[in-house]
Structure 1
Amino acid sequence: MNGHTFTTAIATTVLLAINAVTHPVADAQERDATPVQPSFTQGEAQSDIVKLFQWKGNNPRTANVGTIKSEDGAEWTVPAKTHFQSATKAADLYNEATGVEPAGISEVDLETVPVIDAGGDETFTAYVFGDNYFEFYVNGKLLAVDAVPMTPFNSSVIRFKAERPFTIAIMGVDWEERLGLGFEKFKGAPFHQGDAGLVAVVKDAADETVSITDANWKAQTFYTAPLKTKECLELNGAIRDSSKCSTEDTADGTAYFAAHWPMPEGWAAADFDDSEWPNAVTYTNDFVGVENKPAYTNFTDLFDAPQSDAQFIWSSSLVHDNLVLMRTTVGK
């Protein structure tokens, strides 16, 4: 997310404090699993560049994808291999690009939103604000993807039928302009480290909240950049912690590194074993920086309801971790 700059000292202090609560070091050290070593790339992706979306309005951005080879010869799609070009786009809750700009939830006509069959007779509605892009699954079935990969900042609504319990899985992507490096251009800085975050609320047909994003979700990282050095990345069992890596902008980040892990087969399925994944880390609205984004602030009565206040979630680093898979089970 552009528009919110961190200092290294503040970011490190806050993230370490959050990590201590969400997945304590002692817990990680008790795991016997050998860390899955990442593949490292260095520099910017130059191959197979494809334009997915271009926004020419306020804060213009172009969302591209490309490929890059790692030191071990593997090829990676950056920032992520998505279904943006082929999947159903989520309906707009708020989207400046399409002119859908309600002042609040009372102006949203849910009856115009199609209901997607995820296997079951009960109807649910999911509201999602993701920085920048998400893909939404129920019991392994891809229901919809974000309509805007990067900017303008938008929010989405997805209606579906399912049977409790059901598993929600979300792929979150923090987009980048320097493909393979995790950098974007911001206020004249050609190598700025943007940040991420995702918040979601799920309601049933009676308008009762059945799920919110919080620290009970699981969240695992599969692409992290920019890394000034490889050594700043800490691996311990299933923990892939980049929170100690530098968050400073730079005049030239072309020699920075990125770490990649392959996404596991069936990661969105209900029976996928995510028990070794770390819990999601939660972040406040102020920390994420949403005060100037009406796609969120127009719906604070929804996302920040007093009795069911959804929290922004991600991995241990909003800044570095660009591809994060998140999961929860509703009604178990």
Structure 2
Amino acid sequence: MLKNSRFYSALVISALALTTPYANSSELVKVQADVWADNWFAMYIEEDMIAQDSVSIDTERSFNAETFQFATQLPVTVSFVIKDYKQDDTGLEYIGTDKQQMGDGGFIAQFVSVEHNKTLLVSNQAWRCFPVHIAPIDKRCEKSLTPQRDCKSDITPEPLGWKAPAFDDNGWPNAEEFSERKVKPKEGYKQIRWHSSAKLIWTTDLETDNTILCRATLTSGEI
């Protein structure tokens, strides 16, 4: 399903930012973000949700791009929860049909200073990303007639305080970069003019890593 890009009100987001610890300064920078995820994302600054995908994660086919603006003091840590669609904890989709399969994820983002039109941050292998829902553990169960019995999962609670700037993510692996040929991004992806340095990323396995957490630092410097 194609979803229209959604513009979040910069004024609303700025009002939120002004009440939060990361924006206790007159030096607020207005930033425009372009985000494409297969299938769903939510973006946070500390515990404040700045934006989320406008179509539910329960939508099987969802390839939209989202464009929104927010204001914040820089530098700041941006945190993402990113989910590929799965029907249940088997990690599969179209269960019980002849299309039963593992899905595959993909994510790309860029952040641009509205005032100066300079790119401040793009998704690439420098991001730290950690999978918290992995399924199926054994890919051979993909076509099982009883996947709820045969497909096992590895589910990890979100680490306490992982959205905080001081959180130590050195134990998280760097994101993996993937080609367009591998991810096969569709629809909304093609509506955005991506910076040449912006990369499609995920954790190690596009198929079995169903929910991932990612962190990056947004600074005032141009990439």
**TM-score category, normalised to shorter length:** 0.7 to 0.9
When Rg is computed on C-alpha atoms for both structures, the one with the higher figure is 1
- Counterparts of 1:194-273 in structure 2 under 5 Å? 194-205=103-114, 206-228=116-138, 246=139, 249-252=142-145, 253-254=147-148, 255-273=150-168
CA separation of 1:269 and 1:212: change in aligned 2, threshold 3 A: same
Q: Is the 8 A contact 2:44 2:80 kept in 1?
A: yes
Tell me what 1:182 maps to: 91
1:134-153 deviation line (CA, Å, top 9, x unaligned): 11012332112111123332
Secondary structure of the corresponding residue to residue 176 of structure 1 = coil
1:36-81 deviation line (CA, Å, top 9, x unaligned): xxxxxxxxxxxxxxxxxxxxxx6xxxxxxxxxxxxxxxxxxxxxxx
Instruction: Report the CA distance between 1:247 and its aligned residue.
Output: 6.7
C-alpha distance in structure 2 between counterparts of 1:283 and 1:248, whole Å: 25
Tell me what 2:218 maps to: 330
Secondary structure of the corresponding residue to residue 207 of structure 2 = coil
Aligned to 1:141, which of 45, 48, 66?
48
C-alpha distance in structure 2 between counterparts of 1:248 and 1:130, whole Å: 26
Aligned to 1:312, which of 176, 187, 200?
200
The one-letter code sitting in structure 2 at the alignment partner of 1:138 is I
C-alpha distance in structure 2 between counterparts of 1:152 and 1:225, whole Å: 20
Aligned to 2:72, which of 156, 162, 168?
162
Tell me what 1:295 maps to: 188
TM-score, normalised with respect to structure 1 = 0.57
C-alpha distance in structure 2 between counterparts of 1:113 and 1:247, whole Å: 46
Q: Is the 8 A contact 1:193 1:247 kept in 2?
A: no
- Counterparts of 1:5-20 in structure 2 under 5 Å? none
C-alpha distance in structure 1 between counterparts of 2:69 and 2:33, whole Å: 6
C-alpha distance in structure 2 between counterparts of 1:134 and 1:247, whole Å: 28
C-alpha distance in structure 2 between counterparts of 1:204 and 1:278, whole Å: 28
Aligned to 2:180, which of 266, 273, 285?
285
The one-letter code sitting in structure 2 at the alignment partner of 1:192 is Q
Tell me what 1:40 maps to: none
C-alpha distance in structure 1 between counterparts of 2:73 and 2:216, whole Å: 15
C-alpha distance in structure 1 between counterparts of 2:112 and 2:64, whole Å: 20
C-alpha distance in structure 2 between counterparts of 1:286 and 1:312, whole Å: 11
C-alpha distance in structure 1 between counterparts of 2:9 and 2:142, whole Å: 41
Q: Is the 8 A contact 2:141 2:151 kept in 1?
A: no
TM-score, normalised with respect to structure 2 = 0.83
Tell me what 2:10 maps to: 114
Instruction: Report the CA distance between 1:175 and its aligned residue.
Output: 1.4
Instruction: Report the CA distance between 1:328 and its aligned residue.
Output: 0.6
C-alpha distance in structure 2 between counterparts of 1:258 and 1:288, whole Å: 23
C-alpha distance in structure 2 between counterparts of 1:227 and 1:275, whole Å: 25
C-alpha distance in structure 2 between counterparts of 1:157 and 1:251, whole Å: 39
Secondary structure of the corresponding residue to residue 94 of structure 2 = strand
C-alpha distance in structure 1 between counterparts of 2:117 and 2:98, whole Å: 44
The one-letter code sitting in structure 1 at the alignment partner of 2:45 is V
The one-letter code sitting in structure 1 at the alignment partner of 2:165 is A
Q: Which consecutive unaligned segments of at least 5 residues does structure 2 have?
A: 18-22
The one-letter code sitting in structure 2 at the alignment partner of 1:185 is Y
C-alpha distance in structure 1 between counterparts of 2:105 and 2:44, whole Å: 20
The structure in which a higher percent of residues are strand is 1
Secondary structure of the corresponding residue to residue 135 of structure 2 = strand
C-alpha distance in structure 2 between counterparts of 1:247 and 1:310, whole Å: 33
CA RMSD of aligned residues (A): 2.3
The one-letter code sitting in structure 2 at the alignment partner of 1:274 is D
Q: Is the 8 A contact 2:65 2:191 kept in 1?
A: no
C-alpha distance in structure 2 between counterparts of 1:296 and 1:173, whole Å: 16
The one-letter code sitting in structure 1 at the alignment partner of 2:219 is G
Q: Is the 8 A contact 2:104 2:206 kept in 1?
A: yes
